[in-house]
Amino acid sequence: MNTRRDFIRISTLAAGGVALGLTPLKFLSGSRSREELLDLPAGSSREIYRRIPSYCEVCFWKCASWVYTNSDNQILKVLGNEDDPLCNGRLCPRGTGGIGMYHDEDRLKTPLIRVQKNGKQEYREAGWDEALDLIASRMKEIKAKYGAESMALFNHGCSGPFFAHLLHAFGSENNAAPSFAQCRGARDVAYIHTYGTIPGSPEITDIRDCRCMVLIGSHLGENMHNTQVQELAEAIDQGITLITVDPRFSTVAGKSKYWLPIKPATDLALLLAWIHVIIEEELYDKDFVKLNTTGFDQLKSHVSSMTPEWAYGITTLEPALIRLTAREMARAAPASIVHPGRHVAWYGDDTQRSRAIAILNALLGNWGKRGGFYVPEKVAIPDFPCPDYPKPAWNFHDIHLQKYPLAEESITNALIEASIPSADNHHQIRGWIVSGTNMPEAIPDKQLFLKAVDSLEFIVVVDTMPMEITGYADVVLPECTYFERYDDIRNSAFREPSIALRMPAAEPKYESRAAWWITKQIGERLGLHDYFAYDHYEEVIDWQLKQVGTSLDEMKEKGVMRFSRNKDVYLEGEIKFNTPSGKIELYSAAFEAAGLDPLPVYTAHPEPPAGYYRLIYGRAPMHTFSRTANNQNLIDLMPENAVWVNPKVAGIEGLKNGDRVYLKNQDGIRSSFTVSVRVTERIRWDSVYMVHGFGHSKKELTKAYGRGASTTELITRVMVDPAMGGTGMRGNFVMFVREEEGKEVEI
Amino acid sequence: MRYAMAIDVKKCVGCSDCVVACQVENNVHHGYCRDWVTETINGTYPQLETEIRSERCNHCDNAPCVRCCPTGASHIADGGIVLVTARKCIGCGACIQSCPYDARYSHPDGHVDKCTFCAHRVEAGQQPACVAVCPTSCMYFGDIDNPYSDISQIMKVRKWKVLAPEAGTRPQIFYLL
């Protein structure tokens, strides 16, 4: 079968029920009820009856929480678990509003199967058995024809590991997440080749005790990764010096002693100039550098000409300001951090920029130091016993090792490309499982995606919501939300090791099911019984918890358990690094061997032509991209994105606050929907800014449909990182097109 | 006993967690809110200053909403908390007009609604929902008559301001600068 895969709209309706039992709480005892106090009608069902442990799924941070229900088992609210070192009892707005996901009436409700009817493709509702049988038979077919390796998984979130387990047991390791090539991959590769380890997730930045922190485009506070924001606030109380580098006056720029309004795409020049000043003025930690690094002399001569005056011409930042900020960060060292950032897929040389950040940190001598980078530790939870996975004949490394030598993880865009037949494609992907990632909105280059979709033989999409990706599937499976399911034990590497339990607070709504159940069902149909040797996932969790000295029953009461550390959180003296030299590699022989610059070199990137502005995007604290765009609780806080325009630009373009415009990029791609103009001094005149995750085109997302503009849609020029295949997405330029009849504005 | 709130604008990131926590805690209808976040920007690029504030009813000592209420629905309860008794409210909207902080709204059920300082939580010894949830811990709530309370202590060592002091309402939300 090689169908043209029509995009199908989903519309199904089904009813649901809720029932569950746990120990009731004695809450608010001895005080008047809200109804008495506020003189409200009696019999309101807002009274809390019990609380059920969980952890959040709105972003990857996984803050532990309590889900509060009333005596009718209705979910009322979700609050942070006080014992959780990651959230300290305080969820972020997305976590607090996360219940909107559970209540969302647009959720996927039944399995759906693509059928041909009257010459038109559409979905029909199906029972679970039929859908699962179909998936298993198609997977077997693909395995028989091409080998199990030709099935790939794209995933994000807590369901991912279940599908990865299924796929590995089936015989494929082709499992990719956008969190690598579209997000933190360049950073992680840079750190692996400098320090021999990644800067963590959660990041191992000791912000709590930091005295000076540099943020390169990181917008903490808008990026609401909970622990970091909590510690930033604590550090502000303690008088931290913040240095924020951003063409946009971000929230944290407003809290910074120094805001460096850099010309976009020139950050690497600034970093090299800082390295120059710190070496030139001998501000670096000499003992640390001598004891723990290699390649200092090469670095010194490499940056000798990269003066602040040199950087001034590139970055538009005053040389005096560059010197001043270099001295500030050196003065605070080692309690001084240049934050490695997280979403770093900007200009295609992101691994090199991240290397410069890693090098600068090494000069500050902050590795293993209080207020620098701490040593994370997690709990050693053994895997539930199961047979070894079969060894596949090939895997993702065979797809992209030649092209992207340093990619540690699998690259989404490379797997998409491998799904398209061509003369030099020797490892073709034939089928996809997509779990919890809305690929057309998360990964740029929609044309490539559509070509792949057209070439594939089979696509299964598992999601809670009718995201854009569901329209391309042969089978759609409705997953239940994190309020209705068990997932793996949360085990975060942090200063203090801790685990957290997620269990259902309610029965799954509609016909939705948990990933553990779905994968077990498919696995059994594929004859992989030994890999799913349990009747209920509770058995797995209970077994694992008992290995670390607790149990499911105990965790149901506590939600979170903290463990003591086995190693020190900070390091002294000579440190052993997991690099070939055992040292921090300022000069990277591995990069050199891969044909890459062994020390970071600034390269100029394309600039917007006249009448165009660089499209910069970011996060809002109350949304997690597509995932929350249809969540009514969070829509109340931010219903759509706006395009930020500097007043000078607004004057030239004749735009007013609140005007609605289309955006058209350098390749002539126009946004599907209009976006509201926000005229603000907070953005440079050569750029515009939008929050990512809006402008949804799927009508079944009734609340998100057509609200704002999609950034991904406008990112058609992708600057691919030669080191690790990351998709640099900040090289796109847009112009304004008036709402009325798409009449273009001339300047 | 006098309940008050102090909010540290140096720490607030404007994430609006206070808004959604209030909505969820108090079952505020979608599309309405009892607290909200404002952002003020001064200057021109790149010389800029910003202030982000979480705002709500100021639970004024000299509350114009209480004085102008024809039915007594708006009243001052224990600890100075300004409340509206929905049952007594005829929805005339005089209080909405009189409030210099625009803190009140017409509830779809026909009465006026606003922040209660989460009186039901406070009575149970808990913090208001907005204070308890704030990821930056930028809000302090407590008895300002007690010199040892957190709020009294922080206001002793920090500069602060109130909104619209010229209205003479003696507001009880303080912004730490």
* Cα separation of the two ends of chain B: 25
CB under 8 A, 24+ apart: contacts of A537-542: A537/A486, A538/A486, A540/A384, A540/A516, A541/A486, A541/A488, A541/A489, A541/A501
| pLDDT score, position A26 | 40
* Region at A525 (left for phi over 0; alpha for psi -120 to 50; beta for the rest): alpha
A637: Cβ contacts below 8 Å, ≥ 6 apart = A93, A97, A622, B16, B19, B20
Q: Which of A614, A590, A592 is nearest to A601 (CA)?
A: A592
Whether residue A662 lies inside any domain: the answer is: yes
| pLDDT score, position A38 | 59
Could you list the residue range(s) of the whole structural domain that residue A679 is in?
A: 613-742
| pLDDT score, position A20 | 38
The CATH number for A620's domain is 2.40.40.20
Question: For B37-65, what is each residue's pLDDT tens digit?
Answer: 999 999 999 999 999 999 999 999 999 99
Q: What is the dihedral of CA A573, A576, A577, A580, to 10 degrees?
A: 130
Decide: A430 and A421 in contact? Cβ < 8 Å.
no
Question: For A568-577, what is each residue's pLDDT tens digit?
Answer: 999 999 999 9
| pLDDT score, position A6 | 66
Of chain B, the percentage scoring pLDDT greater than 90 comes to 99
**Using CA atoms, how far apart are residues A434 and A2, in angstroms rounded to an integer?**
19
Q: What is the dihedral of CA A322, A326, A328, A330, to 10 degrees?
A: 180
Q: Name the stretches of chain A with pLDDT < 70.
A: 1-45, 741-747
**Using CA atoms, how far apart are residues A272 and A599, in angstroms rounded to an integer?**
10
Of B52, B86, B132, the CB nearest to A251: B52
Distance from CA of A678 to the nearest CA of B (A): 13
Could you list the residue range(s) of the whole structural domain that residue B91 is in?
A: 3-176
| pLDDT score, position A35 | 58
| pLDDT score, position A29 | 37
The CATH number for B164's domain is 3.30.70.20
Selected residues 10-39 of chain B with any CB under 8 Å from a CB in chain A: 10-11, 13-17, 19-21, 23-25, 27, 30-31, 33
B85 reaches A (C-beta below 8 A) = yes
Selected residues 98-157 of chain B with any CB under 8 Å from a CB in chain A: 116, 119-120, 123-125, 132-138
Q: Which of A376, A392, A410 is the C-terminal boundary of a domain?
A: A376
* Region at A499 (left for phi over 0; alpha for psi -120 to 50; beta for the rest): beta
Strands ordered across the beta sheet of A498-500: A490-492, A498-500, A560-562
Distance from CA of B16 to the nearest CA of A (A): 6
Chain B: residue whose CA lies nearest to A646? B45
Structure tokens at A285: 């930690």
**Chain A residues touching B11 at Cβ < 8 A:** 233, 236-237
Report the relative pairing of strands A241-245 and A212-216 from DSSP bridges. parallel
Whether residue A169 lies inside any domain: the answer is: no
Sequence letter at residue A435? S
**Chain B residues touching A76 at Cβ < 8 A:** 24
Of A40, A77, A254, the CB nearest to B50: A254
Split into its structural domains, chain A has a count of: 2
- In degrees, to the nearest 5, what angle opens at C-alpha B32 toward C-alphas B117 and A658? 125
| pLDDT score, position A402 | 87
Stretch (H or E) spanning B11: none
Whether residue A350 lies inside any domain: the answer is: yes
Report the relative pairing of strands A675-679 and A642-645 from DSSP bridges. parallel
Compute the half-sphere exposure of residue B28: CA atoms within 13 Å on the CB side of its CA.
29
Whether residue A670 lies inside any domain: the answer is: yes
Split into its structural domains, chain B has a count of: 1
**Using CA atoms, how far apart are residues A250 and A646, in angstroms rounded to an integer?**
14
Of B43, B49, B136, the CB nearest to A229: B136
Decide: A191 and A358 in contact? Cβ < 8 Å.
yes
Tally the residues of chain A.
747
